Amino acid sequence: AYMFFKRENQTGIVKSPGEDHHVTQGALRIFAVLSVAIAVLLFTGGAIFYHSEQNAYLSELKGVEANTLALKKDAISRALDRATADVLFLSSQNELILHLDTGDQQAAQDMEREYLHLARSRRVYGQIRFLDVRGQELIRVNNQDGRFVAVARNRLQNKRGRYYFQDCVRLERGQIFLSPMDLNVENGKIEDPPNPMLRIGTPVFNSEGSKRGIVLINYSVKGLLERFRQRAPSAKGEISLLNSRGHWLVASDKSKEWGFMFPDRTGVTFAKTYPDEWTKILADTQGQFCSENGLFTFTTENPSAVLQQFSDMVRTSTVPAPAGDQSSPYFWLLVSTVSPDALEQHESATLTRLFVGGCILFVLTAFGAWHLAMAVARRQQYEEQLVEAAMYDTLTGLPNRKLFFDRLESALALAARSEHRLVLLFIDLDGFKTVNDTLGHEAGDELLQRVGAILTGSVRHSDTVARLGGDEFVVILNEVSNVGDAVLVGEKLVSALRAPIPLREGPATIGASIGVSVYPEHGESAEVLIQKADQAMYISKHKGKNTCTMADSSRCADV
C-alpha cells in the first residue's frame, strides 16, 4: 500500500512542511492503535502457544515415564519367570523322583551335578537346595564369589525353624513359594556388601504322591536391581522400587534403601517423605498425577501374579510376609518421580523463547505497521489532490483518468456524427498483488510499465490506452466496423497479458479480466458504456479470470 501511494505521489504535487507534519501526526495516531492491536495479538498468541507447548511436553513426558516403568516391570516379570521355571523343573527332576522313591544315592549325586550345572549357567543363584520334610538340607550348591560348589554333607544344616521352609513345606503340589525381597543374612548378620535376595521354592513329592521335602532357590537380585536403577536416556524421573509398606528397595539415594532391615533407617520411607502422594498411589494399581512435589508415575507388580503363569494353584494367601512385616497382600510398587525443578526448567525455557521471539516479532511488525500508518495517512491527505493530478500517469506515461474521460467524450461525439461504432475495453490485471508480494513493489512498478507498453503495442495508433489507477486499464477503440473486431481485440489482449512478462527480478506471470461494451449497442453515454464494461469485467472475474466478456453477459472469449 505504501509503494502504491508513493507512486501516486509522483504526480508533481508540491507538499508544504505543514502537510508533512500533518501526515506524521496522523500516522502516529494510526500507529498507536496498530501497536496496541499487535501487542494484544502477540500476547494472546503467546499465551495459547505457551499452554499448548506445556500440555504437549507434559503429555510426552507422561508417556516416556509410563513406558519406562512398563519396561522395568517387564524385566522383573521375565526374571521371575525364569527362576520359577527353574524351580518347577527341579521339582519334577527324574533323578529327584528316583531318589525319593528308592533312596538311591547315585541319583542324589546326579541331582547335585544338575544343581551345579544350573547355577553355573544362570550365575544369579546364590544357593540351590533340596531339603527333606524335617528341614534338613540334603543337597546344597553355594555361589562363593562366582565359584559354584556343592556343600559337603557334614556341613549341611537343618532349616526347620526358618520361615521360608515352614511356609514352603505347607504348600500343596504345584504351589509356588515366593519370599519377600530382603538382604541375605549369614550367621545372624546382614551380608556385607548387601546382597538382595528372593527365595523361590515348591514342595516335592514321590511317585506315590507323598510329600518328601522342598526345592529352594536363593535368587540374588542385585544385578536385576542395578539394571532397574539405570535411568532411560529420555526419562526425566527418579526411579524407585518400593515394598508394600513404602520402604525403598531401590532409590536414587542408596542410604534410603532397605530401611526395614536396618534399625537406624526404619523411619526412612517413601510413605513418610510423600504422605499425600503415597495415599493416592495405594488407591490404584497404576496411574499418573501431578502434585507440588512433581509428576508421579506408578505401577504395581504383584509377584504372585507372575508365578500364576507357571501354576494354576498359586494363591495370594500362600505368599508369606517377611518377619516383622505383616503387610498383606505382598506387592512391589514401581514409582517415577519428576521433580518440580525439572518441570520448571522446561517452563522457564519456554517462557524465555516466547519473550525473545515476541520482542523480535513485535519490532518487525511495528516496523511494518509504521509504514502502513504513513501510507494510510498520506492517502487520506492526498486523496483529493490525486483527482486533480496531471493528465498523464507518471509511472506508465499513459493518459490518466481525467484525460481518459475527455477523450471518451470526444470519441463518442465523433462516433455519433460519423455513425460508426466505438468499443470500450475495461481491463483489470489478475495476479498483480502476488507479484508485488513475492518480487517487491519495484517489480510491480516495472510490471505496470510493461503492461502499458503491451496494451499500446496491441492496438492502433489512433486508439487510446489509459490507466485508471492501480492495476486497472481501459482501451478506447475508434471506428470499429463490427462487434467481431472488438472480440478479436479482447482475445488478443488476454493472450498478450497471459504470456510471461520479463522483469529485472525475473519473469512474472499474470492475466487479465476484460469487460467490453460497444457504442451504440450497449449505450450512448460515457457513463452507461463504462458501467456496462465494468459489469462485464466482474463477470470475467467470476468466470475464472483470464477471460474477456461482452456486456449484457454475452461471452466473446474464454482463454
Catalytic residues: 471
b/e map of 110-147 (b: 16 or more CB within 10 Å)?
A: bbbebbbebbeebebbbbbbbbbeebebbbbbbbeeee
Query: Taking Cα atoms as reference points, which of 499, 522, 521 lies closest to residue 512?
Result: 499
Query: Taking Cα atoms as reference points, which of 42, 47, 48, 26 lies closest to residue 366?
Result: 42
Where do the DSSP E strands lie in 80-195?
125-132, 137-144, 147-150, 177-178, 182-183, 185-186, 189-190
Q: How far apart, in whole angstroms, are the C-alpha atoms of residue 256 and residue 31? A: 63
Does an H or E element contain 406, and which? helix 401-418
Helices and strands counted in the chain (H then E):
15, 20
- The residue with cell 542385585 is 222
Query: Edge-to-edge, what's the strand order for the sheet holding 286-291?
Result: 248-250, 238-243, 332-338, 294-301, 286-291
Q: How far apart, in whole angstroms, are the C-alpha atoms of residue 548 and residue 559? A: 8
Q: What are phi and psi of 7, to 5 degrees?
A: -65, -45
Partnered with residue 65 across adjacent β-strands are none
Could you write out the DSSP letters of every residue in 431-482?
Answer: SHHHHHHHH-HHHHHHHHHHHHHHHHHTS-TTSEEEEEETTEEEEEEEEES-
Q: How far apart, in whole angstroms, are the C-alpha atoms of residue 203 and residue 18? A: 109
Does an H or E element contain 49, and which? helix 17-91
Q: How far apart, in whole angstroms, are the C-alpha atoms of residue 135 and residue 133? A: 5
Instruction: Give 511's Cβ-side CA count (13 Å radius).
Output: 15
**Strand 248-250, strand 421-430: pairing:** unpaired
Neighbouring CB atoms inside 10 A of 276's CB total 10
Query: Taking Cα atoms as reference points, which of 493, 496, 501 lies closest to residue 537?
Result: 493
Sign of CA dihedral 34, 35, 41, 45: positive
Cell triple for 290: 501431578
Does an H or E element contain 370, and which? helix 340-387
Asked whether the beta carbons of 159 and 138 are under 8 A apart, the reply is no
Q: How far apart, in whole angstroms, are the C-alpha atoms of residue 77 and residue 299? A: 13
Query: Taking Cα atoms as reference points, which of 11, 9, 6 lies closest to residue 441?
Result: 6
